[in-house]
Amino acid sequence: MKTQGKTFVWLACVALVVAVLRYYMKGWVQPLGVSDLAGSFFASITLVTLVGLVIFFVREGRAIQGAYWSAVAWFAALAVWGQALIVSGILISARAGTPTYYEEMMGSHQSMPAAQHAVSHMIATLPVVIVGMILGLPIYWLAKGGRPSTSAPNL
């Protein structure tokens, strides 16, 4: 757990830096011919969350006393942190009167109030964790390599 805790702190810090960069980087990649969609993805908390998913499940799978549910818990904590950063960014953007990446690219949320947009991201936390559990299971299983587990999920 000590290693996973350090990993969580590092990933949480990286996600925070990405969130700040994402807020200030709007339009920086356009002169290079990179689309807003690609620029948004590269400066994405989702990308950090996916990297975290792989790291947590592989580490728990390789650990002698590793447990699937421990990896789920660490991933869930990272997913909650990531969504909190996204919600904060939406609310800060609304307060500052600046458009979010999604508004600039898709125009879909322009008529949606910031509070409603933020709540939709809070609600999205549960599906993110569920999808992470599903994607993490084969990663954990492959990293485990057939060794018996102390608390593998019974499917």
Residue 84 within a domain:
yes
Residue 116 within a domain:
yes
Distance, in Å, from the CA atom of 143 to the CA atom of 62, rounded to the nearest integer, reads 5
Residue 152 within a domain:
no
**What are 104-146's pLDDT values in tens digits?**
555 554 567 778 878 888 998 999 999 999 999 999 999 998 6
HSE toward the beta carbon, residue 121, CA cutoff 13 A: 23
Average pLDDT on 47-60 reads 94
Both structure tokens of 72: 């789920």
Confidence of residue 96 (pLDDT cuts 50, 70, 90): confident
Tracing tokens 């809070």 back to the chain, one arrives at 122
Both structure tokens of 122: 């809070």
Residue 154 within a domain:
no
Average pLDDT on 5-34 reads 80
At residue 115, the pLDDT reads 82
pLDDT above 70: residue 77: yes
Residue 140 within a domain:
yes
pLDDT above 50: residue 97: yes
Count of the separate structural domains present in the chain: 1
Show the domain range for 77: 2-144
Confidence of residue 20 (pLDDT cuts 50, 70, 90): confident
pTM for this predicted structure: 0.79
At residue 19, the pLDDT reads 83
Tally Cβ neighbours within 10 Å of residue 15.
Answer: 24
Average pLDDT on 18-25 reads 76
Confidence of residue 38 (pLDDT cuts 50, 70, 90): low
Q: Confirm if 125 and 79 have CB atoms less than 8 A apart.
A: yes
